[in-house]
A and B are shown apart, each in its own frame.
Chain A
Amino acid sequence: MENTATQATPVFIERAPYEKGFADFFEKNLKERLQKAETDRLELLKEYDHRKTVGYPMYVPVILLAGILFLYADPQFGLFVGIGLGALLYQWIQGPVHKYRSNVKEGIVAELVTFFGELSFSESRKLDTQLLEDSGIVPGFTTYNGGDHLSGNYDGVDMEMCEVELKQKGNKDREYVVFKGEMFHIKLKKTFTGKTIVKKDSGFLGNAFGGIFTKLERVKLEDPKFEKEFEVYGTDQVEARYLLTTAFMERLLTLRDTFDKNGTIQCEFSNDHLFITIATNRDLFEAGPIEESCLDTEDIHIFLSQMESVFQVIEVLKLNKYTGL
Chain B
Amino acid sequence: MIEDLKKTARDALEKTRATDSDAAGADEARVLMAHGGGGELTRELLAEHVLPRLDNALLRPLMDSAVLPPLDGRLCFTTDSFVVAPLVFPGGDIGRLAVCGTVNDLAVMGARPVALSLGLVIEEGLPLALLDRVLDSVAAAAAEAGVPVATGDTKVIERRGEDGLIINTAGVGVLPEGFTVDAGRIAAGDAVLVSGHLAEHGLAVLSVREGLAFETEIRSDAAPLNGLVEALLATGGDVKFLRDPTRGGLAGVLADLAEDSGLSLEIEEAALPLSRAVLGAAELLGLDPLTIANEGKVVAAVAAADAERVLAACRAHPLGRHAALVGRFTKAAPPLVELLTRGGGRRLVSRPYGEQLPRIC
Q: Do A and B come from one complex?
A: no
- Residue numbers of B with Cβ under 8 A of A are none
- Residue numbers of A with Cβ under 8 A of B are none
